[in-house]
Amino acid sequence: MKKKECIALILAGGQGSRLGSLTKNLAKPAVPFGGRYRIIDFTLSNCSNSDIDTVGVLTQYQPLVLNSYIGIGSPWNLDRNNGGVTLLPPYTDTEGRKWFRGTADAIYQNIFYVNQFDPDYVLVLSGDHIYKMDYSKMLAFHKKKGADATISVIEVSWDEASRFGIMNTERDGRIIEFEEKPKVPRSNLASMGIYIFNWKLLRDFLIEDSKNENSSHDFGKNIIPSMLKDGRRMFAYRFKGYWRDVGTIESFYEVNMDLISDSSELDIYDSNWKIYSENSTQPPHYAGPDASVKCSLINEGCVVFGEVENSILFQGVYVGKNVKIKNSLIMPGARIMDNATLDRVIVGEGSIVREGVKLIGGKEHKQTENYDVSDTGIIVIGENTVI
């Protein structure tokens, strides 16, 4: 393999259990998002747009959909002869290794993959964040500071700060302390889970960490603190822009809704920074003679006869006559039959809402065998369900 200056590793093995029935049969990064994407498209597109052409994707939980979706990486321009995208599942060897025990262990077990490219730097990313970021700028910052590690941070509001991993820094950005979910935060710079490491140094720390039986083999809990303790040059890189974690039903719903707004902070229509995705091979959508669509995103292949407001229809959704859909996400191929009413509902892929069914989200709803209800009252119908 040719030497690469910097390669990316995307952690995509987590279950995302807080997404409930959305991740029953697929990993969180593969969950459909924003009308035509899957969550991991944003990270993969960022790599591609930042000229990073070598990307390892670490998978573990329910990888079938994710594996077949990523394939050889063509949609993201990552089908390369040298590098490109590589899926890195857990494996056994002569020593009988097991599952990835944590984020750091996942990379430790793939040291051989990284070594092939003899990179100076590795970029460690999560497969479940929605944002647009030019990693090459972060790498330039890392080099300029002569850092051992750089952690991308974003300013969050002070009252939210105790929900994040917080970086306490000196004026020049050097990190002096890292606190995971501090009760009384002393800074509002939250870690985005995006790291650049000097590879040789990280490798040493990973090997050391793997020997520690008490470690939970996690970047935030173990690797970063031990590097700090060791007095390494670690810097916070301030990212300004839209960045969201979509770990819960609420945040997943909110971030989708953010795309709808007339002045959305995340521009998915920018031809200089495209978000690449698999081509759904469907015709333009059809809005019928009595259709009414307001403040919504509609993807290819949809047929709309009813009313849609403040909602997102993914590819191939059918909306019958007199249907009223409000504040909802309708995943690929779902069919909403005549006279149905939906408000604050997430309808899973391939599900059918029968004629005349009325579902209005709200906290008073109880979970049934057909759907979950989130803490804030969003109804979530799993995939291939008939309601």
Partner 1 sequence: MNEVLGIINDARYDYNLKEIGNYRSMASIPFGGRYRMIDFVLSNMINSGIQNVGILVQRNYRSIIGHLRSPKEWDLDRKRDGLFILPPGYDFGIPGALMGDLQVIHSNLDYIARCKQKEVIISGVNILCNINYSEALRFHMENRNDITVIYKDMGDDMRDLSMCTNLEVGDDGRILDMEVGPDESIGTAMSMNMYILSKKLLAKITQRCISRGKTDFVKNGIIENIGKLKIYGFKFDGYVAHVNSIQDYYRYSMELLNTDKWHEIFFKNGRIYTKAMDNGPAKYMKGSTVKNSLIANGCIIEGNVENSILFRKVKVHKGAQIKNSIVMQNCEIGEEAILENVILDKDSKITKGRHITGSDGFPIVIEKKTVI
- Give 34 or 193: the residue with its C-beta nearer to partner 1: 34
Min dist CB 325 to partner 1, Å, is 13
Min dist CB 151 to partner 1, Å, is 30
* Residue 81 interacting with partner 1 (CB under 8 A): no
Min dist CB 60 to partner 1, Å, is 28
Give the whole-angstrom CA distance, residue 218 versus residue 104: 5
Min dist CB 285 to partner 1, Å, is 6
- Do 195 and 236 contact (CB within 8 A), yes or no? no
345 closest CA partner among 319, 318, 371, 375: 371
Residues 42-61 that bind partner 1 (CB under 8 A): none
Residue reference for tokens 């479940």: 128
> What is the CA angle 368-383-321, rounded to 5?
90
Of residues 116, 282, 339, 370, which one binds partner 1 by CB under 8 A? 282
* Residue 68 interacting with partner 1 (CB under 8 A): no
173 annotated among ligand-binding-site residues: no
20 annotated among ligand-binding-site residues: no
180 annotated among ligand-binding-site residues: yes
Residues 146-175 that bind partner 1 (CB under 8 A): none
Cβ neighbours around 242 below 10 Å, total: 16
* Residue 257 interacting with partner 1 (CB under 8 A): no
Give the whole-angstrom CA distance, residue 191 versus residue 153: 5
319 closest CA partner among 343, 336, 344, 294: 336
- Which two three-digit tokens encode residue 2? 């040719």
Min dist CB 288 to partner 1, Å, is 6
Give the whole-angstrom CA distance, residue 78 versus residue 290: 43
What stretches of 76-119 adopt beta strand conformation (E)? 84-88
* Residue 348 interacting with partner 1 (CB under 8 A): no
Give the whole-angstrom CA distance, residue 336 versus residue 381: 12
User: 319 by DSSP, 3-state: which?
Assistant: strand
Of residues 62, 299, 341, 351, which one binds partner 1 by CB under 8 A? 299
* Residue 324 interacting with partner 1 (CB under 8 A): no
Min dist CB 240 to partner 1, Å, is 22
Min dist CB 71 to partner 1, Å, is 11
* Residue 312 interacting with partner 1 (CB under 8 A): yes
* Residue 75 interacting with partner 1 (CB under 8 A): yes
* Residue 295 interacting with partner 1 (CB under 8 A): yes
For partner 1, which stretch binds (CB under 8 A), given 132-140, 219-227, 269-277, 346-354? 269-277
What dihedral angle (degrees, nearest 10) is formed by the CA atoms of 51, 38, 189, 141?
0
Give the whole-angstrom CA distance, residue 342 versus residue 344: 7
* Residue 326 interacting with partner 1 (CB under 8 A): no
What dihedral angle (degrees, nearest 10) is formed by the CA atoms of 94, 100, 106, 111?
0
Binding site for partner 1 (CB under 8 A): 34-36, 74-75, 260, 262, 268-269, 274-277, 279, 281-300, 303, 312-313
Mark the binding-site residues for alpha-D-glucose 1-phosphate, compressed into ranges.
165, 180-181, 191
Mark the binding-site residues, compressed into ranges.
165, 180-181, 191
